[in-house]
Amino acid sequence: MSLWSWNSKPTSHAQRKFIELIYNRTGKYANWDPPSEMQVGSYGRIDRETGNLTVEGSIYDKAFEENLIGAGINIDSDEHRPEECPDETDFTAWSKNVKKLEFNIETHAKDIPGIASATIKGTWEVKKGTTGAVLLMHNPRIKRLTADVLTKLSKIELLKHMHVVTKVFYCPAFSLYLSDKSGEKISMALVDATSTAGGSASMAWWSDNLAGLSRRGCKLEHCFTPLYELKHVRHPRWRRTSPSPERKGEDLWITPHPPWAPLDEEGNDVPVYVASDDSSDEESGSE
C-alpha cells in the first residue's frame, strides 16, 4: 500500500515533504498542483500546514497601483509586467537521497515506441529507509520580474511583510514523484505519442515500478507551473563600521525557508524535547 495520497488529510503530510525535498535541492518551491497556475507578482505567506502559498494579492491588482506609482514604477509602460524568457532544455531535479542511474532501454522498455529518442528519460534509485522526490519538466519557459522592478518593489512597505512570487516555470509536460521508504528503483520517460490517425503531435509519460505517489500531465501549451521562486525583502542588519556595497535587484531579496523544522521521512513534524529546569538542578549536585 502506498504511503502517500494526493487527497491530503490531517494525518498526511506528503505535500509538505515533497516541497521540502525539492526546496532543499533547488532553493525553489514546488507547486503541489501544477495545473493550477502560480502567477508571477502574487504575494502572500506560506501555509505551515500545507506548504501552499496563501495568496493575499498581486502587484497587478488595480488596488495595488498606488504602491507601484509610489515606488517609481510607470504602470503605463508595463515595465512591471513579467519578462518572458526563451524556452529552456528539459529540467530535472531530485532530492539528495536519490541517485540517478544509467537508463537501460533493453532492460526496461525496448518495446516502447519512441523511448530511444525520448529527451527526458532516466532511472532513479532512492536510498532505502528514506523518502525521495523527483521533479521533471519538459521544455520549461520562465516568466520573471526584472531586476529593476525588484529594486523598486523592495521599497513598498506592504511587501516587506510578504513573500512575493518573482519567477515561475511554465511547461507543457511535467512529472512529480514522491517515493515510499522501500528503497525503490524507478524508471520514467517522456515519449512521443503522436497520433498516426489524427496527425496531431503529443507526448506521454511512461514509467515502471512506481510504488510511491506520482502525478504528471502533458499538453501542447505551456500551461503547467510545477516550480516557482519565492522571495521576501532582505531586512537590514545593524550597520557595520564600514558600509556594505549597495544592493540592487535580486540582492535586495532572499528566499524564505519553509515555515517548519525539518520533517521526518513520513513528512511529520519532529518532536522537540526540552529538559526542565528542575531536572537540571538535580543533576548539578550543588550543595
For residue range 59-68, what is the model confidence (pLDDT) as tens digits? 999 999 999 9
Distance CA 4, CA 176 (A): 13
Q: Is the pLDDT of residue 213 over 80?
A: yes
Segment 236-260, tens digit of pLDDT? 664 554 445 567 777 899 999 999 9
Look at the alpha carbons of 80, 81, 82, 85 in this order and tell me if their dihedral is positive or negative.
Answer: negative
Q: Burial of 221 by CB count in 10 Å (0-12 exposed, 13-18 middle, 19+ buried)?
A: exposed
Element (H, E) at 25: helix 14-26
Q: Is the pLDDT of residue 3 over 60?
A: no
In the three-class reduction of DSSP (H, G, I as helix; E, B as strand; rest coil), residue 229 is classed as: strand
What DSSP character marks residue 267? S
- Count CB atoms within 10 A of the CB of residue 35: 13
Distance CA 58, CA 41 (A): 5
Q: Closest Cα partner for 154 from 26, 43, 30?
A: 43
Segment 143-179, tens digit of pLDDT? 999 999 999 999 999 999 999 999 999 999 999 999 9
- How far, in Å, are 11, 112, 123, 191 from residue 107 at the CA level? 38, 11, 11, 17
pTM comes to 0.85
Largest CA distance in the chain: 91
Q: Which amino acid, one-letter code, is at 2?
A: S
